[in-house]
């Protein structure tokens, strides 16, 4: 395996048949040879984001795209509608942390750009503002990325970032005085935990914040910082350097956890996108010994995923070992034996076990079939399991912070659907009683939003497998093939397209009569572990083929037609959308590749690439190299092909999908498409993979959706005269 240096440089203007005069794009055939096969890449030069000519190319593309997007009618109306809905939302409180009687949380008031950090003395105490991201650095909009209070509740470590970069500065605040200590930790991937004496914090340290450096996240370290000490004295507690005998991979994040509910142990995690856990533990007495004698808590072959909790001397986890829909098991923490673990909650054939959390006396178990969710409670004392009667139907949300005080049997439970916003309840698990949440009230939407229809069907895929498809449309919609339709899906990491009130899509359906289609493609886990593995690495083509099968169904059933159908893929969904349109360009009028992985063969050479190898593969393996080629949208762009209109979007500060991935795909389609339809490369210079700043977010999504609607011929989104 070797790489050939760039061969020939030349400038290529846009194809002569294109009506759009794009900024010229340089070609340089940087051919890469892997296992005897040559893969040509005319745009590999874009990967050098420090080259002034590359930066200039992006600016020209951004200016060109903005000039067109600003002329589309309906864009500003979308933003106005979303602002109206946002102002109708009550204040939203998330990520509650409870320590020593104090509650810490992030709260976003109606119309606010970003959330602020607050605390209370007890659930009903007066609210105190701790950190305002808009006021900390004058003129800058920051985002609170993470925060962890000390166990005594008197100090809090706060990680914040700017412009969607997600690389955090950590400052430590005295809660009583609301003053920061002098030290700052940077660059980091956030706060991990405090030591039990409340005098030190552990955090994940990165080598650099430079998102153009492919090695920046390799061999990262969990460091120990002692309060009020010089940060140069911070100690490497857990890393590939300090524990080479553990044979952790350089691309993984070495994470440490200290838990006051399990004060006799320290836990560590080799974290990556690989779902199967690799974890270690040791006696807490060894923490400051200079070298911890880590024992293996679990390894990937144990097939443990989704959640793990130590409780009362046992360790509980979800597994797919002999359980495609997952089951809950436990084993003694003193001597873990996962092969002979006790089954706590057996596999259900009609639903997958999504999550479990703990209250004082119970476990809450969340099950889903991808459309309908249920909750069960498991009594830690008696071992009895029963199903809870839910107050409403919808997608259920329970995470660790929902059961923020496990000294009680109360837990916050949220319900949301594709048609209804989130409603949160306080669940008394022991009494099986739901009452309105004291933190979050439901959003009251205008009556017009109550007239949508949701239909769930199954579509025969290319290989005969039945693919779930959710369709949303306005009452009275005629299936005459004339409707504009937006298809949106993902299909990676085992993440399902769970029901969610997504205002961007719902408002299009309500106000503009657009049909919204949500295919549950393989690569998610709507149908369990097998569904995930059927869209993973070598089986990844099922992901975009399922998407295309759903497009064919929508056309055949009269929901839409190719000239009025658009597809939307975000992040890893960039694989889905770029391969869907390169395989079947005839099915779509428009495609949105939003911060999308569009150049899978080069992914591992990017800032966030190495950590994603477990999900997508590496070119260093002959079989996986070919699988990555199949996933690579840019590699499948063919000259003189009638491609749909395309808008690619990148966040300049994106640490997950660097801007050159969608940019290379956009450049390739600009220079090859014979359809005469526009191909835009939009750059958000004030954002990353996403942003909490609603003013930026709303403008970004309005551009994407207005473009797609314009190209689908929607009358509300045509060019201004």
For 244-259, write each residue's pLDDT tens digit: 999 999 999 999 999 9
* In the block, residue with structure tokens 């911890």: 292
pLDDT of 394? 86
Per the model's pLDDT, the better-predicted residue between 400 and 173 turns out to be: 173
Torsion of CA 240, 241, 245, 248, to 10 degrees: 10
pLDDT of 571? 98
Between 283-292, 314-323, 523-532, the lowest mean confidence (pLDDT) is in: 283-292
Confidence of residue 484 (pLDDT cuts 50, 70, 90): very high
| Rounded percentage of the chain residues whose pLDDT exceeds 70 | 98
The DSSP secondary structure of 312-376, one letter per residue, reads: TTEEEEEE-TT-TT-EEEEEETTS--GGGPEEEEPPPTTSEEEEEEE-SSEEEEEEE-SS-EEEE
- Is the separation of the CB atoms in 461 and 521 below 8 Å? no
Exposure string of 579-596, with b = 16+ CB inside 10 Å and e = fewer, is bbbbbbbebbbbbbbbbb
- Is the separation of the CB atoms in 409 and 388 below 8 Å? no
pLDDT of 552? 98
Confidence of residue 399 (pLDDT cuts 50, 70, 90): confident
Sign of CA dihedral 83, 84, 85, 91: positive
Alpha carbon distance 283, 117 (integer Å): 34
Confidence of residue 721 (pLDDT cuts 50, 70, 90): confident
Look at residue 644 and tell me whether its pLDDT is greater than 50.
yes
Q: Average pLDDT in the 216-245 region?
A: 96
Q: Average pLDDT in the 99-103 region?
A: 97
Torsion of CA 277, 214, 665, 68, to 10 degrees: 110
The DSSP secondary structure of 374-389, one letter per residue, reads: EEEEEETTT--EEEPP
pLDDT of 370? 83
pLDDT of 400? 79
Q: Average pLDDT in the 432-454 region?
A: 96
| Rounded percentage of the chain residues whose pLDDT exceeds 90 | 94
Task: Kindly report, residue by residue over 10-53, the tens digit of the pLDDT.
Answer: 333 333 334 799 999 999 989 999 999 999 999 999 999 999 99
- Is the separation of the CB atoms in 321 and 303 below 8 Å? yes
CA-wise closest residue to 28 among 53, 14, 11, 49 = 11
Quote the mean pLDDT of the chain: 95
CA angle 662, 549, 481 (to 5 degrees): 100
3-state class of 513 per DSSP? coil
Task: Kindly report, residue by residue over 78-90, the tens digit of the pLDDT.
Answer: 999 999 999 999 9
Look at residue 591 and tell me whether its pLDDT is greater than 50.
yes
pLDDT of 371? 83
* In the block, residue with structure tokens 């650099």: 208
Residue 415 per-residue DSSP state: E
- Is the separation of the CB atoms in 582 and 636 below 8 Å? yes
Alpha carbon distance 569, 580 (integer Å): 10
Task: Kindly report, residue by residue over 106-155, the tens digit of the pLDDT.
Answer: 999 999 999 999 999 999 999 999 999 999 999 999 999 999 999 999 99
pLDDT of 11? 32
Rounded to two decimals, the pTM is 0.94
Alpha carbon distance 53, 470 (integer Å): 45
Q: What does the domain layout of the chain look like in residue ranges?
A: 51-83+446-716, 93-192+208-213
pLDDT of 290? 87
Task: Kindly report, residue by residue over 536-580, the tens digit of the pLDDT.
Answer: 999 999 999 999 999 999 999 999 999 999 999 999 999 999 999
Alpha carbon distance 407, 423 (integer Å): 24
Residue 687: Cβ-neighbour burial (10 angstroms; 0-12, 13-18, 19+) = buried
Task: Kindly report, residue by residue over 333-344, the tens digit of the pLDDT.
Answer: 999 999 999 999
pLDDT of 12? 37
Exposure string of 423-451, with b = 16+ CB inside 10 Å and e = fewer, is bbbbbebeeeebeebebbebbebeeebee
Look at residue 331 and tell me whether its pLDDT is greater than 90.
yes
pLDDT of 576? 98
Structure tokens at 626: 């070919």
Alpha carbon distance 257, 550 (integer Å): 43
Q: Average pLDDT in the 290-299 region?
A: 95
Q: Average pLDDT in the 614-633 region?
A: 98
> What are the start-end ranges of the E strands in 462-508?
466-474, 485-489
Structure tokens at 649: 């979007």
pLDDT of 19? 76
Q: CATH for 51-83+446-716, among 1.10.10.10, 3.90.550.10, 3.40.50.720, 3.40.50.1820?
A: 3.40.50.1820
Q: Average pLDDT in the 53-67 region?
A: 98
pLDDT of 584? 98
Confidence of residue 189 (pLDDT cuts 50, 70, 90): very high
Confidence of residue 519 (pLDDT cuts 50, 70, 90): very high
Task: Kindly report, residue by residue over 664-715, the tens digit of the pLDDT.
Answer: 999 999 999 999 999 999 999 999 999 999 999 999 999 999 999 999 999 9
């Amino acid at each position: 395996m070797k790489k050939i240096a760039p061969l020939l440089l030349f400038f290529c203007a846009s194809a002569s048949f294109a009506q759009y005069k794009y900024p010229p794009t340089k070609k340089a055939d940087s051919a890469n040879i892997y296992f005897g096969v040559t893969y040509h890449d005319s745009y590999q030069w874009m990967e050098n984001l420090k080259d002034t000519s590359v930066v200039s190319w992006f600016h020209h593309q951004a200016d060109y795209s903005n000039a067109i997007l600003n002329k589309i009618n309906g864009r500003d109306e979308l933003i106005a509608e979303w602002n109206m809905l946002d102002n109708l939302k009550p204040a939203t409180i998330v990520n509650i942390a409870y320590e020593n009687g104090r509650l810490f949380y992030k709260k976003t008031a109606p119309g606010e750009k970003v959330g602020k950090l607050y605390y209370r003395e007890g659930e009903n105490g007066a609210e105190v503002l701790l950190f305002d991201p808009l006021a900390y650095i004058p003129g800058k909009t920051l985002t609170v990325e993470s925060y962890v209070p000390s166990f005594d509740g008197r100090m809090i470590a706060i990680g914040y970032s700017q412009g969607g970069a997600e690389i955090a500065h950590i400052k430590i605040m005295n809660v009583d005085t609301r003053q920061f200590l002098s030290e700052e930790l940077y660059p980091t991937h956030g706060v991990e935990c405090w030591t039990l004496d409340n005098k030190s914090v552990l955090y994940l340290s990165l080598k650099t914040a430079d998102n153009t450096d492919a090695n920046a996240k390799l061999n990262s370290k969990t460091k120990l910082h002692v309060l009020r000490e010089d940060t140069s004295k911070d100690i490497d507690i857990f890393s590939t350097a300090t524990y080479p005998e553990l044979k952790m991979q350089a691309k993984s994040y070495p994470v440490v956890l200290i838990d006051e509910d399990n004060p006799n142990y320290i836990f560590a995690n080799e974290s990556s996108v690989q779902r199967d856990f690799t974890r270690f533990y040791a006696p807490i007495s060894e923490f400051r010994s200079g070298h911890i004698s880590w024992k293996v808590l679990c390894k990937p072959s144990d097939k443990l995923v989704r959640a793990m909790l130590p409780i009362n001397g046992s360790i509980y986890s979800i597994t797919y070992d002999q359980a495609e829909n997952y089951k809950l098991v436990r084993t003694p923490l003193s001597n873990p034996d996962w092969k002979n673990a006790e089954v706590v909650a057996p596999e259900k054939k009609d639903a997958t076990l999504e999550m479990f959390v703990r209250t004082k006396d119970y476990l809450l178990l969340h099950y889903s079939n991808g459309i309908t969710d249920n909750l069960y409670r498991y009594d830690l004392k008696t071992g009895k399991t029963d199903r809870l009667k839910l107050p409403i139907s919808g997608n259920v949300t329970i995470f660790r912070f929902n059961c923020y005080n496990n000294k009680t049997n109360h837990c916050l439970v949220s319900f949301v659907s594709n048609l209804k916003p989130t409603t949160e309840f306080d669940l008394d698990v022991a009494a099986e009683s739901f009452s309105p949440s004291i933190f979050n009230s439901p959003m009251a939407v205008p009556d017009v939003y109550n007239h949508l229809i949701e239909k769930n069907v199954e579509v025969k895929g290319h290989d005969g497998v039945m693919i779930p498809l959710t369709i949303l449309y306005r009452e009275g919609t005629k299936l005459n093939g004339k409707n504009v339709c937006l298809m949106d899906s993902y299909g990676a990491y085992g993440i399902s397209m769970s029901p969610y009130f997504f205002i961007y899509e719902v408002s299009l359906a309500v106000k503009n009569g657009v049909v919204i289609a949500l295919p549950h493609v393989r690569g998610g886990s709507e149908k369990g572990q097998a569904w995930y593995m059927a869209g993973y690495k070598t089986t990844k083509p099922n992901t975009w083929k399922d998407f295309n099968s759903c497009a064919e169904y929508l056309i055949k059933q009269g929901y839409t037609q190719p000239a009025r159908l658009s597809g939307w893929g975000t992040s890893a969904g960039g694989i889905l959308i770029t391969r869907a349109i390169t395989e079947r360009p005839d099915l779509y009028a428009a495609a949105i590749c939003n911060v999308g992985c569009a150049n899978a063969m080069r992914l591992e050479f990017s800032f966030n690439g190495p950590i994603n190898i477990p999900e997508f593969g590496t070119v260093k393996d002959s079989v996986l190299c070919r699988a990555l080629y199949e996933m690579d949208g840019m590699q499948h762009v063919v000259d003189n092909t009638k491609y749909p209109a395309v808008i690619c979007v990148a966040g300049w500060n994106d640490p997950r999908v660097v801007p050159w991935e969608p940019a290379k795909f956009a450049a390739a389609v600009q220079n090859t498409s014979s359809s005469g339809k526009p191909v835009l490369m939009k750059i958000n210079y004030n954002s990353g993979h996403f942003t909490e700043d609603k003013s930026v977010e709303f403008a970004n999504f309005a551009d994407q959706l207005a473009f797609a609607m314009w190209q689908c011929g929607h009358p509300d989104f045509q060019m201004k005269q």
